[in-house]
Amino acid sequence: MADYKQQAAKTKELVQAFASERTRENMVQLMQHIETAMVFVPVIAEGMTKEIQEAAKKNGKIELPKGTKVRNRLLVSKQGDTVFPVFTTPEEITNPELQGQFMLMPFIDCAKAATVKDSGVKAIIVNPFTDNVGIVDKLLEACVERREALDKAMKQKQMAEARPVQVTERQFHQLARTQAETLTIPKQFFAGAQAFLDNLDAKKAEVFMDAYKALYVDGIEPPFALDDIRVMVLGITASVTMARVDLPGKNLQDGMCSTLFMTYNTNTQEAHYIAVQKTKEGMEMAAFDANGKRTVIGEAPDEGTELNAVMRFLGIG
């Protein structure tokens, strides 16, 4: 319970920070925390009686009849949109109609429920009667997809631990980097390009180091440091954001990438993931999609001219 209270206090702190100053940085920090946090959710339990509620007050437990259906309580905003209310603590539930029946749930489960097709939910509202911080459906979808990608990477790691492949340590580094750079990171990026770029701008090289380490088994560490990864996120035009990531170039092997470019256009919602990659044929420039499908663009441009080549390919400038 002490751990939960500390987590709830941190959630409340970040919610209040964004409520008072609605900046991109504050939203990124809130999303990074809340997607692994627990929240209180008002519910409707069919079959709930006064006797059950009174018994719960005495022993702290709610014992519902077998087969009882529990549904989330939704609200309607002043604009007429259906929203999913969540609360950092029970004390935040100041509306009498919502008090008495609530559950402690992982926020990510709330996000999944809110983004189910045809749910009609436009946003999750955190502490609607006090802080009133809204997290819109597109951001929730990106949150869910990012978490699913991380869960998949964790399962892959567990499978690697359960069924060790007989490869040398050098081969393992090659496999791990190739998978991270051409599958894991692209999947996270395409799951929510703007949110990914915001997170990359905030955390820099840590985003890539986390992706690499998620694929490593115990006893083996990536053969490079955080300082070996250089990240730059900038606005190319009023609507296009681009990230350039220079990856460790020492001992580059087939499949590994030396440089990555990720772009997102807020007007067209187009996202691109382009890599300068070492292959058996030499250094090539290629585009990857969310499933790791590779499309060769051509021979890699001369060092120092990659950005211009990417912009020409995208028709920018």
pLDDT of residue 220: 81
pLDDT of residue 267: 94
Q: Mind listing the pLDDT tens digit for each residue in 6-52?
A: 888 899 999 999 999 999 899 989 998 998 899 998 887 766 666 65
- Helix ranges, the chain (H): 2-20, 24-34, 50-59, 107-114, 137-162, 169-179, 185-191, 193-203, 205-213, 306-314
Residue 162's pLDDT band (cuts 50, 70, 90): low
Cβ atoms 247, 229 nearer than 8 A: yes
> Using alpha carbons only, how large is the chain's radius of gyration in Å?
23
Cβ atoms 7, 15 nearer than 8 A: no
Q: Mind listing the pLDDT tens digit for each residue in 297-310?
A: 999 999 889 999 99
Q: Judge whether residue 233 has pLDDT over 70.
A: yes
Q: What mean pLDDT is predicted for residues 89-104?
A: 83
Q: Mind listing the pLDDT tens digit for each residue in 119-158?
A: 889 999 999 999 999 999 888 998 898 888 888 888 877 7
Residue 60's pLDDT band (cuts 50, 70, 90): very low
Taking the whole predicted model, whether its pTM rises above 0.75 is answered as no
